[in-house]
Structure 1
Amino acid sequence: MDLVALVTADQQLFIYRLNGQRVYGAIQKADNRGVQSIRWKPNGQLLAIAWSDGSVRLVSPESCKIVLQFSTGEAIEGVTCMGWATNSIRRSGSSSFNAGAKSLGALLSANRDLSGEKVPMDLPQDLSLIDIEISLPKLSVLAAGGNSEDVFSSRSSLDALFRLFDPKDNSSVNVMVVGTKNGNIHLSIYDSFEVGTFVSPVTIDGVPCHLIRHAAHEQFSTHVLLLEQPKASGLLYFVPMDLRFISASSEYLSLLASRSTALNNLLRYIRQVQMLMINEWKVTQELPSRFIRNINKTLEEKGHGDIVQALYHSVATGHTFPAVREWLVDELSERGHKRWDKAVTAGLENLRRLVHENMLPALERCSIILSRFLGIVKFQGSDSATGFTSQQISLIMDTVACLHLVSSKILIQVIDELELFGSFSAWLRFEIDRLASDSSATPNEDTAEKEASIDHSKVLLYLQTVMTSSPLSLYLNNTVSEEDKDNWNHSKYGPPMFELLDAQILKREQGRSYLRSLLRIDLWCDLLEKQAHVIFNQIAEADRRNVLFGEAQCIGPVENGGPVDVRISRNDSGLCQSHTAFVPKGSSSVVQVARVLLSIENGISSLHRSDFSEVQLGDGQIRDIKFLDDRIVLAFA
């Protein structure tokens, strides 16, 4: 669909269809921070919005939600330019001399005898691009939490965030360049995979020049940057930026970057699920704890122990202490029992759904992505430029396995507690009704039938093992003692921990001493995030080392905030040529065009030639300049 994005004078951003229907609207952020640049993704699936505080939001017009958000740095004074372009990835090795060969998918879909066909020359790459995620069920949406992670609360935004990797995208990479008033240049690929922030390559008298225009061409890994002196002579500088990680790095760049982005989004999803799990667990504890706290005080004063012992006595003997009877009939009553039953049952049901429908499927997807990473690094060898090792990936996969084990134990315990609480709740309601009625009356058939339907062994088991000391607290309690913290810190930096965790769980089940902190799901999520971000940083560092800035060329003075535009094209000789059109300082009716030819070898550019020309357009004042295509430039007076 055709969409138009615009920013109004009062800093409101809107997206409209061509018929005038509004699709999306964003009001001004707090502290009078406004929109300073907008840019569509080359395929039109996302809109990037750069705010004056340096934050960038990626909005999906399909779901009208913020899909991603990142910051270009700290203490940012404003954004001066934002570009979003697509570059083709040139293949090395077997892929280059076998460009005419069909892919594995094309051969398998041909439905004919393959005996006469040549074997695909790039079989490892074709195998790596087979996407088994498409056969997995979609991740389930989460309940809205009133924060930035509400992107997980709708089907459309979740689908936009977890787009399947298209093998066609393996031949291209999306690059976003954001320039700030501080003189920094922030680089990211695949929507949100941050390569890093670079200091301006041009500094005049200790003051960095800031980026005002960016241009790229699909066939060249070299981008063109135009930088301007802030509040000075207004000199315009031309700087080539060579992205050698596109031209010279691994042919699995697209797969690594896109799956790293997907893994990062999965970590956000897992963290949100973990927080919701803890919240649901707290819901099951708050109301019953208040009821139990009140009666425990009374029983302690009368010397009858606690409520667990008193109720156990009632189930085993049929006798109820007067204080417990008063509590059941007068304080708890039918209304209180309904609230108790609803709080615990609904909380446990939600907890079961979160583990079964959200956490475990997300962990399975993490395992698939990590197995791809492991396959790539093993195939390429230890000297590859991927930025990580097979040992690092194996450790993360071990952490995912530990988190899967903990989640499975939680699910089993939740199912058991639901069954036990069902019996306890039925017995508790029966006791309330029995004690509230005339105790001297002879029990009728209905009463006897209700009592016979209650499994008293499960009621006793619930009182013994769950009512005030649920095993779920070992997994979902988010408070940790210093001793537990020391044990965890000592354990997590050692060898793979799955066997250690499994042994600790077995010790707990056997009633032996064990490391309680190893069962905490939030600590496992923390460890997974730390390990994954180490990998992300290493991949980004490998890419950062392959970002080179060429020699700056001064192409003339321009009016402060005056019209400027730049475009890259390929000339007849195959050279990269850029045209920069601008209005020279003091000549408001003149358009000056600077042509710079760059020769690119192995992803590194060098100046080949530069030419200048200008056109006098009468006596008017030129308001804006835009390149229509590679041959025509429009000047608006």
Structure 2
Amino acid sequence: MEQNFASLAAVHLPSICRLLASACCPDKDLLVLVSRLGGRDRMSLWKMQGSKTWEVDVGTDDKSSEQIVGLAWSPDGQSIAVVHEPPRVTLHSVQDGHEERSLLVSTPSEVTRHITNVWWFRTEKTVSVKAIPDIFKRNGLIPGTSHSILRTLPLLDSLQEESQQHTATDLFAFQGSQTRSNPKSSLPDVIKRWPTLSSDPIVASMGSPVKQLDPSNGHLDVADDANLDSILVITDDAGHIHCFLDGSYHLGPISVGPNLLIPSLFKHPKRPIFIVHRQEANGGESRTDLPPIYVHLPMLEDRQIRDMARVSSSSRELVWYCMRVVKDMRAVWFGSESLSGARELGPKWIRALEKRQREQFGQQEATAILDLTCLLLTGRASEALLDFLGSSEQMSERGIQKWETSVTEAIVKLRDFSEKRVAPACQRLHLILEEVLGWSHLPQYASFQLVTKDVETCIELTGRAIFIASWLAAIARRELSRFKEFIMWLRSETAAVNPPSDFHPQIRHDTLEVNNYFMSGLVVSSIDKWFMGPVPQFNPQEFGIVNGDAGLRAATEHARTAAGQTKWQLTTTQNELNHLDRNLDALVQEIAFRCQRVFEGAAGATSRSALVSVGRHSIASQATPARPTPQSNQPITIRERIILGENEDEEFAQYLAMHIPAAPVNRIFLCLARVRFGGTTTSQLPLSVGIALLEGLLPAEQEGAGPVHLEVLDAEFFDDSSVVIVYRIPGQPGKAFIATVGYSELDYQELGPAEYVKAPSREDLMQRAMELWEQGQLASIPMPIKGRRELAHGGSGPVSLALNGRAGRRVACVLDGQGTNMETLDLEGDAEQEGDE
């Protein structure tokens, strides 16, 4: 038999795998296989030539029964959207398979029950040539906006993501196709639920951590802007469509009907219009509407939604930056599970002194602070203190040096982080929120439902955080100064207990500062309040700060009054501030909660403004009882392909391939339908419906021989002219074939309106075609096979088929029924080219 296609690879897989219909990468010679080991799904990336690039575990520890049910490739080919069951959607990098982020898919009323399908659509961009070029390269930014100002500011220091921390296995294992496990995500719930575009810290005026890529993968393509304006679409079994701008920014759920499935969905390549087909299941039988409904998202045609997405993303980056910085500050001061805090060193030293007073010197009541104060003021030490300074291990030069280094580094880190990270990040957030506050007053942003009072509250909290961070920096400076004086005094007293031969005591410390450290620093530090207590509620104006909203005239009068006070005040009064709450950690958490709520409500504007045009005929109203398919309990498999006209408002053709597993008189059919519709602007009945019935017959292999019957195992649309089928020939066990069948040049028998109006669903249309064939009104034709090839592994049972019909790729991947043998084929190459290779 003539071999019309070239085989790229025939691989025997080490474990049982599954092949999804969308496994082939659109623009790279890559494909994804799914296996299961130890109750958890694994995803592996393979080259079309048969070599495995990487393999990762995609399940979570708390969901051992989790399974992969679908995937979609990003337009730039750098990310893979993976749908899990129970419902979860994750984005994985094509470089090494690590989880980039997890998408939240839920409705306002209830959590999504099951995710049914996933698509990732590219948006074709119209290139417009302007008379005056953009010599300033603003990249779509409007001068004077918050982002145009942020791009002129210095970048904040970058922070290492916890997911980027390498383990010993990552550092020392052989690089290649080893199995990796995804680290647990440590994102708090408020950050997970925050609508955001792909992470880009540079836009938020933050330094970006350097990402180290594995060059052994061999496909380090430079990322392009193909993902820009792309739409990731996820559907569930509750009749909701979830759209994600650029594959990450959730635009909110769109309902097309309660408890309906969406088996097929197509997006217009240049306009935000979706052609949707609904499906309803009654008594185990599924029915899919023949006429589609159109979902139009008009907000995606303007720039407001992207501006809001950028603002939301930058705000999330800044808030998450502040949360991580404050978390590091708290850990370095109070300690964490893996780090001892510097704050505990002082109380630990006091407890050791008090223990010696009680156990070795018999004091009923420990008086460590009293003895230290007495030594500071009089120079006379108690016996217990004298013994502690002279013989304690903590009083060695090494112990004092460790104490000094730990506390100094911690206080310096608190000072620098609050002054150089938290305060500048909050200032940038304040700038963004001021722009959002302006939007809340503009009528063109009314669809975002921005509540002015809520935005003002976020601005007020952010301004308070700037003040508290600056306040912490000042307190840290004072604490550090007092601690240095205390260490200086401690060293001198320790040296006086065991003086060397040339020792001459010199007073270098400040007695008052050392005493102040005894009272507020050694046991109870004033810095503790920045990480303890409720959310601060004070007003910065209580400290004499001029209200920035008072106006220029009031500020000028205040400055003139201050300049006119030439008499020096001999005594000054200081406000008592100990009663004020100043918990910076709780304040940042409150800012995150309130800002997330504002931006989450704004992100749903696209779904709230969606225009859903429902057809005049529904499934429930005109559906007829399904006709059972004899000798088979398998569901009817329906494939589709939509071909648009030259102009966006012209008619488009929808081709349906309905594979009938078993039919009367044991004859196999592949029913093809061509349904023409008007433009994509209105919902209406089909303009025409044509049917062609392909019978499972092959031309005679030899002259004089009769027709050869075949068993179609699977069928998928390949391009605008061909369908790829996989079939076996009865009587030839262990053999399977792949072939291309032309469908665009077939003669479709047109049905009258009375015919397809009575068949409002795709399944009814297939049944009507069989009725016409049985009545002799529709003739069947043998399979018009254009080319075919025998597969290396025929096997038995069903097969899985994945295709890539894009120009320049045009490959097919077939997995046998056992899931252990895979073959990839080049559907443009022939056997001669295969032999030359």
Cα distance between partner residues in 2 of 1:173 and 1:242: 17
The answer on 1:210 being equivalent to 2:258 is: no
Deviation at 1:594, TM superposition (A): 4.7
The equivalent residue for 1:609 is 687
Pick from 432, 446, 450 the counterpart of residue 494 of structure 2.
Answer: 432
Task: Go from structure 1 to structure 2 and tell me whether the alpha carbon gap of 1:35 and 1:373 turns closer, same or farther (over 3 Å shift).
Answer: same
Look up the equivalent residue of 1:543 and give its one-letter code: T
Task: Go from structure 1 to structure 2 and tell me whether the alpha carbon gap of 1:472 and 1:189 turns closer, same or farther (over 3 Å shift).
Answer: same
The equivalent residue for 1:12 is 42
Moved more, 590-599 or 25-34: 590-599
Cα distance between partner residues in 1 of 2:274 and 2:530: 50
Question: Retained in 1: the 8 A contact 2:80–2:93?
Answer: yes
Deviation at 1:409, TM superposition (A): 1.7
The equivalent residue for 1:397 is 459
* 1:74-93 superposed matches below 5 A: 76-87=112-123
SS at match of 1:80: strand
Cα distance between partner residues in 2 of 1:408 and 1:147: 34
The answer on 1:562 being equivalent to 2:626 is: no
SS at match of 1:268: helix
* 1:612-623 superposed matches below 5 A: 612-616=690-694, 618=696, 619-623=709-713
* 1:144-543 superposed matches below 5 A: 144=162, 148-149=185-186, 161-162=199-200, 173-181=229-237, 183-199=239-255, 201=257, 208-230=259-281, 232-237=284-289, 239-246=292-299, 250-282=302-334, 283-296=341-354, 302=363, 306-328=367-389, 329-330=391-392, 332-334=394-396, 336-356=399-419, 358-374=421-437, 376-377=439-440, 380-381=442-443, 384-389=446-451, 392-435=454-497, 437=498, 444-445=502-503, 448=505, 451=506, 454=509, 456-477=511-532, 479-480=533-534, 491=537, 497-499=539-541, 510-512=574-576, 516-517=580-581, 519-543=582-606
Cα distance between partner residues in 2 of 1:501 and 1:142: 36
Q: TM-score, normalised by structure 1?
A: 0.76
Look up the equivalent residue of 2:70 and give its one-letter code: S
SS at match of 1:468: coil
Task: Go from structure 1 to structure 2 and tell me whether the alpha carbon gap of 1:17 and 1:584 turns closer, same or farther (over 3 Å shift).
Answer: closer
Deviation at 1:127, TM superposition (A): 5.8
Deviation at 1:590, TM superposition (A): 0.7
Cα distance between partner residues in 2 of 1:364 and 1:610: 61
SS at match of 2:374: helix
Cα distance between partner residues in 2 of 1:29 and 1:582: 38
Look up the equivalent residue of 1:291 and give its one-letter code: W
Q: TM-score, normalised by structure 2?
A: 0.59
Give the root-mean-square deviation of aligned CA atoms: 4.4
Look up the equivalent residue of 1:34 and give its one-letter code: Q
Cα distance between partner residues in 1 of 2:447 and 2:197: 31
Look up the equivalent residue of 1:410 and give its one-letter code: L
Cα distance between partner residues in 2 of 1:626 and 1:220: 26
Look up the equivalent residue of 1:616 and give its one-letter code: L
1:542-587 Cα offsets, whole Å, 9 max, x none, are: 2222124332666998963835344463444733636253325556
SS at match of 2:229: strand
Cα distance between partner residues in 1 of 2:654 and 2:66: 34
Question: Retained in 2: the 8 A contact 1:210–1:227?
Answer: yes
Question: Retained in 2: the 8 A contact 1:89–1:247?
Answer: no
Q: Which of structures 1 and 2 has the bigger CA Rg?
A: 2
Q: Which has the higher contact order (CA 8 A, sep 6+)?
A: 2
Look up the equivalent residue of 2:610 and give its one-letter code: V
Task: Go from structure 1 to structure 2 and tell me whether the alpha carbon gap of 1:384 and 1:126 turns closer, same or farther (over 3 Å shift).
Answer: farther
Question: Retained in 1: the 8 A contact 2:669–2:694?
Answer: yes
Deviation at 1:453, TM superposition (A): 5.3
Look up the equivalent residue of 2:274 and give its one-letter code: H
Question: Retained in 2: the 8 A contact 1:183–1:209?
Answer: yes
Cα distance between partner residues in 1 of 2:157 and 2:719: 43
Task: Go from structure 1 to structure 2 and tell me whether the alpha carbon gap of 1:414 and 1:572 turns closer, same or farther (over 3 Å shift).
Answer: same
Cα distance between partner residues in 1 of 2:98 and 2:416: 25
1:599-626 Cα offsets, whole Å, 9 max, x none, are: 345xx65556353434516254444444
Cα distance between partner residues in 1 of 2:428 and 2:31: 34
The equivalent residue for 1:113 is none
Task: Go from structure 1 to structure 2 and tell me whether the alpha carbon gap of 1:502 and 1:626 turns closer, same or farther (over 3 Å shift).
Answer: farther
Deviation at 1:6, TM superposition (A): 1.6
- Give the fraction of aligned pairs with identical amino acids, expressed as a percent: 15
The equivalent residue for 2:563 is none
Q: Which has the higher helix share?
A: 1
Cα distance between partner residues in 2 of 1:384 and 1:624: 50
The equivalent residue for 1:96 is none
Cα distance between partner residues in 2 of 1:583 and 1:87: 29
The equivalent residue for 1:579 is 654
The equivalent residue for 2:672 is 592
Deviation at 1:197, TM superposition (A): 3.1
Task: Go from structure 1 to structure 2 and tell me whether the alpha carbon gap of 1:129 and 1:295 turns closer, same or farther (over 3 Å shift).
Answer: closer
Cα distance between partner residues in 2 of 1:159 and 1:180: 22
Structure 1, unaligned runs of 5 or more: 92-98, 111-122, 152-157
* 1:10-89 superposed matches below 5 A: 10=36, 11-15=41-45, 20=51, 22=53, 25-30=56-61, 31-61=64-94, 65-73=98-106, 76-87=112-123
1:247-275 Cα offsets, whole Å, 9 max, x none, are: 56x53221212331332343333223222
1:517-551 Cα offsets, whole Å, 9 max, x none, are: 3x111232233123212322331342222124332
Give the aligned length: 577
Question: Retained in 2: the 8 A contact 1:360–1:407?
Answer: yes
Task: Go from structure 1 to structure 2 and tell me whether the alpha carbon gap of 1:262 and 1:269 turns closer, same or farther (over 3 Å shift).
Answer: same
SS at match of 2:230: strand
Look up the equivalent residue of 2:466 and give its one-letter code: H
Cα distance between partner residues in 2 of 1:347 and 1:277: 8
Structure 2, unaligned runs of 5 or more: 1-26, 164-182, 189-195, 205-223, 335-340, 547-572, 663-667, 697-708, 728-837
Task: Go from structure 1 to structure 2 and tell me whether the alpha carbon gap of 1:512 and 1:143 turns closer, same or farther (over 3 Å shift).
Answer: same
Deviation at 1:468, TM superposition (A): 2.3
SS at match of 1:161: coil
Moved more, 8-17 or 330-339: 330-339
SS at match of 1:173: coil
Look up the equivalent residue of 1:220 and give its one-letter code: R
Cα distance between partner residues in 1 of 2:289 and 2:596: 36
1:359-406 Cα offsets, whole Å, 9 max, x none, are: 33432442343344345555x447733331555444423322221221
Task: Go from structure 1 to structure 2 and tell me whether the alpha carbon gap of 1:39 and 1:170 turns closer, same or farther (over 3 Å shift).
Answer: closer
Cα distance between partner residues in 2 of 1:16 and 1:434: 73
Cα distance between partner residues in 1 of 2:669 and 2:420: 65
